Structure 1
Amino acid sequence: MLNAKVETKWFQLFLVLGILIRVATGILNSGYLALDDYYILFFSVPAQSESLSLISSVQAVPEIRSLLPDSIIRLFATTAYKFGFDDPLYQIKFVFSCLGLLSGISIWIGYKFLKYLYPEETNPKNNYQAWVPLSGTFLLSLHFLMPLVSTRALIESMSAPFLLGAVFSASIYWKSGEWKQLGISLSLLAIASLFRFQVGVCAFALFSLVIYRSWKSKSFKDIYAFLIFSALLALITGLPDLIFRGTFHSSLRSYISYNLQHSAEYGTSPWFAYLPAILGVSLFPFLIGKYKGFDWKSEYSKFVPVIIFSVLFLVVHSAIPHKEERFLLPILPLLLILISPLCAYWRGIEKGRMSIRRLSFLIVNFLLLDLLCFFTIQNNTIELVRYLNFHKDIKELYVYRDSIPHLPVSYAYRDPLERYEYIESLDQNMQPKIQNFDPFKSCSAVLAVRKDYVMNGVDPDPPWILVGNFRSSPLEELAVFMNPNKNKRRASLYLYQLQLCKEK
């Protein structure tokens, strides 16, 4: 049996490493994962006013989103400003670091959850089951995706620890029937749903557990308790919208209405689109093998609530036409919990000898961890904005076609640009066609062109000269190479400025 003191030291090590790498990721990787992620920063950072309150300018928060995530980000940004971080970039780094610290709770919850499922007295000596809690802790701490996604301002990431806690309490209720745990599970699920409304579908998973237990015990008391708890939580979670927006659950109503009207505009994907993402997250090839002596039924009967929550979440999201991998982030910790017994099994089987499987798993995991956590995502546009932040003499920015989908202005604090326009072509002299443009009166103008356009001949001649090259991260460069049509917005950017201006 695993020595208790040794296990405690391993847990503490994984907890400390997980928190440290999250904070380091928040500091060293200032990028954002998606536009939804960026818009939270846009409305909450920079906090340039000391009068910025916890909930300030409610109208600035999009109607389709709850006030909770924006309030938390705004609080962190305001704190950073009061600590003397005037530059919005450092405010953003502070926000990401705080989120990383908070997300460390997932490591602790996951360990306690697995210790509950695998108590010491049931683990025979030298059995792999004794290592399941530590295997899960390792995954929640150092899995290549966890440090990055848990430090971003994404509503999906912020909901994940609460969903994990809800499933933990649901598992205790599943075994013991305690109403207290049922109430805790519902409460945590309600909080998770305030970050990501779709997480609310997991209430049906919890209700299915309640119905089954009620059927087995031939009593409806648990169903009544569930309905009463749900009604109270629905009332409580709708009050902020009623107070600050004037309508009960207005954000949820607006969110549903918006998606019914506009979801199709964001594109559609086949029902199985999430399967490759799940296999990638699990590093599935390293789990393939003959599981001799592994009792699948006995092992995974412990995880019935985890499986029901995860499967229902996946089925509902697979039925929705518009799909993005980040939508799976709330259940990422649950998926890692589910593969913990498999990882522990191979650790036990291959203990004491050289294991190509484990070595390859660790190499791939930590290589991806390094690339994802410590190389800035969306680096091309962020570096462009930072260049504009330090060159406040630039007043006009022209963009060749779709070279820049949007400009992340929250990463700079300067006067607005006087002109920000898209151009469609260059003339026969390889000069950008810009209406009402006088080079002798527009010495503050720059032109941004994406790398693929430059490689195809869109390279302005003098008096335009290259003044900046804002490169993508290595992983984004790989994504562009593998699928240029989908990821071309991540390609490097070239910035040109009039030579007439540079000579002055």
Structure 2
Amino acid sequence: MQKDTCVIKDINSKHLLNVNRFVLILIIITYLFSAINSNGFHHPDEHFQLIEFAGLKAGWNTGDDLAWEYGAQIRPALQPYLALVIFKLAGLFGIKDPFILATLLRGLTAVFSILSVLFFISCFKPSIKSRYHPALIVLSFFIWFFPSINVRFSSEIWSGLCLLISVGLVELNRQSKLRYFIIGVLFGLSFEFRFQTAFAIAGIILWLICIRKNSFREILYIFWGGILIVALCTSLDSLFYGQFVFTPYNYFRVNIIENVSSHYGTAPWYAYITSILIAPNFLIGAVILLSFTILLGYDYKNIILWTIIPFIVFHSVIPHKELRFLFPLINFVPFLLIYAYQQIIDRIKKKNFLEIFFNSVLLAMLCINLGGLAMMLFKPAGNGSINLIHYISRKYGDTESLTIYSLKNNNLYISSNSEGLNASFYLPDNLILKDITTEFLTHPEPNRLVVLSKGHYTERVLLEKNGYKMEKPGIPAWIMELNKFYGVFNEEAVPILYTQENDYERDSKIFLLPNPDLLLLQTKGQTTWEEQMVSPPINGFIFIYIYKVSYK
């Protein structure tokens, strides 16, 4: 193997050196920009089992405030303690704003991602022909969903980055006791961030034994590095929970033996194949699966395959499946694409037609990628709830009381009616949450802050007929338009802030009738009620609106 070198310095041409410096600056700007814009969390676990868990030691939460995983003692404490350290350090500089603190966590993840991917590229560049090196670098950072995922302070990303570095160290193949011990430490960290990576780690160890033919002593150094981290993290877990606890066993018992994870949905064994095909966009997904197949056919001894296959097979067997469970593997995809392309293109003799075909496919993928990248760089995380909380906090938060109306168990600060899903981290002291009632819908109070999801069409129509207007959606409208093609999020779940128009007057009469046929026309003095609107049923009743609108 060639000596590992810095990606930016390993360029023969002075011109290419300048280009790569520019690319490095572009990478840093892109990832930090994504970290700033992606307010919120991709999945509730990213917040409620990490940041809110950190709140137990920071003082804003108690055990009763946390998700059920706390009582089951299945969440490792390493990442919550890491968040706690960042919060304490920020506090030394007077930083207490929750939105800035969350951005710091994403910024830290962005830096970790950039360094990890650059190291991985430097280790595997000898396997890629030099003419494909620029493509490898670009793909490794600018596939359209990479920046938004690689800045997430989630267990999947931190586990995957530790796994990525460890595979890079394995590829270097340097005979050093310290190197093998560090590989073991990284394996341990990857495991403690997310226990399921144990199956990827097992595949790598099998590769070292069966393909690389490493000695028992070398494997033992890896083992001791991993054991050290697991022992230290067990101490952290015991400190966090207040008693001795071995969270890997608890996690296995609860989610595998007791099958609790299946309560959150199940999918067939082939669901991940479908997800890989559809989630990145069909064309890109098809190329990823084709690249995997090519690599399997031409180089079945490749360590990347031995890492990926056990991980995906295990997750395919488990009934509960989520796309985010594959996130630890995403940074292996660019190497997979370039290596497979290199294998197939070098074996084909008649290249004229194929070059036209491949260039056409690449052009289509480039267009898809540019649109998706633009969307994801500006898109808030998830359905935009935290982004809207941020907006409300900045514009309306500086008051004695901040009253927000929303449907019961469907507000910005509570993800659902499940235990421990209150976003205490973002709760201001002056916040008052009120439920939207039938009375409020028929006779809304003036000048209130009302939040409804886009999918609550009936309730939104009621508000709009009574002088409320859309002020701010959690996700910008242009992103929702692009999402119709990319399908990243559920548009119906996007929250919208409604406020009342200042110049609006309404004189209205609202009848609550069990029968929509009983439509009455009323007069008030000499004024005829000019318009009528019949709502869809709410709680078994039909709202009949007969109204007159005037503006000052």
State whether TM-score is above 0.5. Answer: yes
Q: Who is 1:381 aligned against?
A: 385
Answer yes or no: is 1:23 the counterpart of 2:32: yes
Answer yes or no: is 1:169 the counterpart of 2:178: no
Flag the 1:231–1:362 CA change in 2: closer, same or farther, 3 A.
Answer: same
Report the Cα distance in structure 2 between the residues aligned to 1:67 and 1:472, rounded to whole angstroms. 32
Shift of 1:234: 3.3
Report the Cα distance in structure 1 between the residues aligned to 2:392 and 2:205, rounded to whole angstroms. 53
TM-score, with length taken from structure 2: 0.70
Range with bigger deviation, 359-368 or 239-248:
239-248
Shift of 1:108: 1.4
Shift of 1:21: 0.6
Shift of 1:81: 4.3
Q: Who is 2:494 aligned against?
A: 491
Matched to 2:246, the amino acid is S
Report the Cα distance in structure 2 between the residues aligned to 1:162 and 1:11, rounded to whole angstroms. 25
Report the Cα distance in structure 1 between the residues aligned to 2:290 and 2:81, rounded to whole angstroms. 47
For 1:399, which of 402, 406, 410 is the aligned residue? 406
For 1:468, which of 431, 449, 471 is the aligned residue? 471
Q: Who is 1:130 aligned against?
A: 130
Q: Who is 2:191 aligned against?
A: 193
Report the Cα distance in structure 2 between the residues aligned to 1:379 and 1:363, rounded to whole angstroms. 25
Q: Who is 1:435 aligned against?
A: none
Deviations 1:49-80 (A, max 9, x none): xxx97x99896874432222223333333444
* Pairs aligned (count): 468
Shift of 1:98: 2.5
Report the Cα distance in structure 1 between the residues aligned to 2:311 and 2:36, rounded to whole angstroms. 32
Report the Cα distance in structure 2 between the residues aligned to 1:141 and 1:383, rounded to whole angstroms. 25
Q: Who is 2:371 aligned against?
A: 367
Structure 1 alignment gaps of length 5 or more: 119-128, 433-438
- The percent of aligned pairs where both chains have the same amino acid is 19
Note if contact 2:32-2:110 (Cα within 8 Å) is conserved in structure 1. yes
More strand per residue? 2
Note if contact 2:255-2:261 (Cα within 8 Å) is conserved in structure 1. yes
Q: Who is 2:336 aligned against?
A: 338
Report the Cα distance in structure 2 between the residues aligned to 1:447 and 1:284, rounded to whole angstroms. 40
Report the Cα distance in structure 2 between the residues aligned to 1:465 and 1:201, rounded to whole angstroms. 53
Note if contact 1:385-1:411 (Cα within 8 Å) is conserved in structure 2. no
Structure 2 alignment gaps of length 5 or more: 1-9, 416-421, 507-552
Flag the 1:31–1:4 CA change in 2: closer, same or farther, 3 A.
Answer: same
Range with bigger deviation, 387-396 or 20-29:
387-396
After TM superposition, the structure 1 = structure 2 runs for residues 166-315 of structure 1, keeping only pairs within 5 Å, are 166-173=166-173, 180-212=178-210, 220-222=216-218, 224-225=220-221, 227-260=223-256, 261=258, 262-279=260-277, 280-281=279-280, 283-284=284-285, 300=299, 304-315=302-313
For 1:451, which of 450, 454, 460 is the aligned residue? 454
Matched to 1:131, the amino acid is R
TM-score, with length taken from structure 1: 0.76
3-state SS in 2 of match to 1:111: helix
Shift of 1:330: 0.7
Matched to 1:385, the amino acid is I
3-state SS in 2 of match to 1:452: coil
Report the Cα distance in structure 1 between the residues aligned to 2:468 and 2:60, rounded to whole angstroms. 44
Note if contact 1:132-1:341 (Cα within 8 Å) is conserved in structure 2. no
Q: Who is 2:435 aligned against?
A: 421
Report the Cα distance in structure 2 between the residues aligned to 1:40 and 1:287, rounded to whole angstroms. 31
Note if contact 1:476-1:491 (Cα within 8 Å) is conserved in structure 2. no
Deviations 1:289-342 (A, max 9, x none): 99xxxx9689635x6221111111111111111111111111111122211224
Report the Cα distance in structure 1 between the residues aligned to 2:125 and 2:486, rounded to whole angstroms. 41
Q: Who is 1:145 aligned against?
A: 145
Flag the 1:6–1:256 CA change in 2: closer, same or farther, 3 A.
Answer: farther
Flag the 1:14–1:56 CA change in 2: closer, same or farther, 3 A.
Answer: farther
Flag the 1:270–1:231 CA change in 2: closer, same or farther, 3 A.
Answer: same
Note if contact 2:295-2:339 (Cα within 8 Å) is conserved in structure 1. no
3-state SS in 1 of match to 2:299: helix
Report the Cα distance in structure 2 between the residues aligned to 1:383 and 1:274, rounded to whole angstroms. 30
More helix per residue? 1
Note if contact 1:286-1:357 (Cα within 8 Å) is conserved in structure 2. no
Report the Cα distance in structure 2 between the residues aligned to 1:257 and 1:498, rounded to whole angstroms. 55
3-state SS in 1 of match to 2:462: coil
Shift of 1:413: 5.6
Note if contact 2:35-2:110 (Cα within 8 Å) is conserved in structure 1. yes
Matched to 2:468, the amino acid is I
Matched to 1:256, the amino acid is F
Deviations 1:251-310 (A, max 9, x none): 3344334424421221111212212333354814567999xxxx9689635x62211111
